[in-house]
Structure 1
Amino acid sequence: MGLLSNRVKRESLKPGDHIYSWRTAYIYAHHGIYIGNDKVIHFTRRGQEVGTGTVLDLLLVSSGPARSQLPCSTCTPHQEGHGVAASCLNCFLAGGVLYRFEYAVNPAIFLAKTRGGTCTLAISDPYDVVVHRANYLFDNGFGCYNVFKNNCEDFAIYCKTGLLVLDQGTIGQSGQAVSIIGGPLAAVLSTPLRFVTTNVYGMAATAVGVYCASRYAADIGMRKDVVKVSVEDLTRRLASGLLQVVEPQILVNPVQQSPQLAAR
Structure 2
Amino acid sequence: MGLLSNRIDRGSLKPGDHIYSWRTAYIYAHHGIYVGDDKVIHFTRRGQEVGTGTILDFVLVSSGPSRGHVPCTTCTLTEESHGVVSTCLKCFLAGGVLYRFEYAVNPALFLAKARGGTCTLAVSDPDDIVVHRANYLLNNGFRCYNVFKSNCEDFAIYCKTGLLVLDHSTMGQSGQAVSIIGGPLAAVLSTPLRLVTTNVYGMAATAVGVYCASRYATDIGMRSDVVMMPVEDLTQRLETGSLGVAIPSLPALPSTPVS
Q: Give the TM-score, by structure 2 length.
A: 0.90
2: CA distance, partners of 1:11 / 1:197: 54
Distance 1:218 1:172 in 2: 9
Could you say if the C-alpha distance between residues 89 and 71 of structure 1 is closer, same or farther in structure 2, counting changes exceeding 3 Å? Answer: closer
- Alignment match, 2:149: 149
Q: Any idea what SS the aligned residue of 2:223 has?
A: coil
State the Cα distance separating 1:241 from its structure 2 match. 1.1
Write the distance in 1 (CA, Å) between the matches of 2:21 and 2:228. Answer: 27
State the distance in 2 between where 1:252 and 1:123 align.
16
| 8 A Cα contact 1:148 1:172, kept in partner | yes
Corresponding residue for 1:55?
55
Percent identical across equivalent pairs? 80
What are the equivalent positions in structure 2 for 1:131-142 lying under 5 Å apart? 131-142=131-142
Q: Distance in 2 between matches of 1:71 and 1:90?
A: 8
Rounded Cα–Cα distance in structure 2 between residues aligned with 1:232 and 1:21: 29
8 A contact 1:66–1:92 mirrored in 2: no
Structure-2 residue corresponding to 1:216: 216
The structural deviation recorded for 1:77 is 5.7
Aligned to 2:74: 74
Displacement after TM superposition at 1:167 (Å): 1.5
SS of 2:205 mapped into structure 1 = helix
Letter in 2 for 1:178: V
| Mapped contact 2:69–2:94 kept (Cα < 8 A) | no
Q: Does 1:116 align with 2:113?
A: no
Question: Which segment drifts farther, 88-97 or 38-47?
Answer: 38-47
Query: Helix, strand or coil: the match of 1:145?
Result: coil
The aligned counterpart of 2:245 is 245
Q: Structure 2: how far apart are the matches of 1:42 and 1:67? A: 20
- Once the two structures are overlaid, the 10-residue window that deviates more, 234-243 or 64-73, is 64-73
Aligned equivalent of 1:94: 94
Question: Which amino acid in the other structure matches residue 225 of structure 1?
Answer: D
Q: Which amino acid aligns with 2:221?
A: G
Q: 1:70 to 1:22 in 2, by over 3 A?
A: closer
How many Å apart are 1:49 and its aligned residue?
A: 1.4
Residues paired across the two proteins, number:
253
The secondary structure found in structure 1 opposite 2:142 is: coil
**2:31 corresponding residue in structure 1:** 31
TM-score (structure 1 length as normaliser): 0.88
Query: Taking structure 1 as reference, are residues 247 and 211 closer, same or farther at Cα in structure 2, changes over 3 Å only?
Result: closer
Q: Tell me the distance in 2 between the aligned counterparts of 1:137 and 1:68.
A: 30
Report deviation, 1:252. Answer: 5.2
Going from structure 1 to structure 2, the CA distance change for 1:246 and 1:15 (only over 3 Å counts) comes to farther
Aligned to 1:8: 8
Unaligned runs of 5+ in 1: 258-264
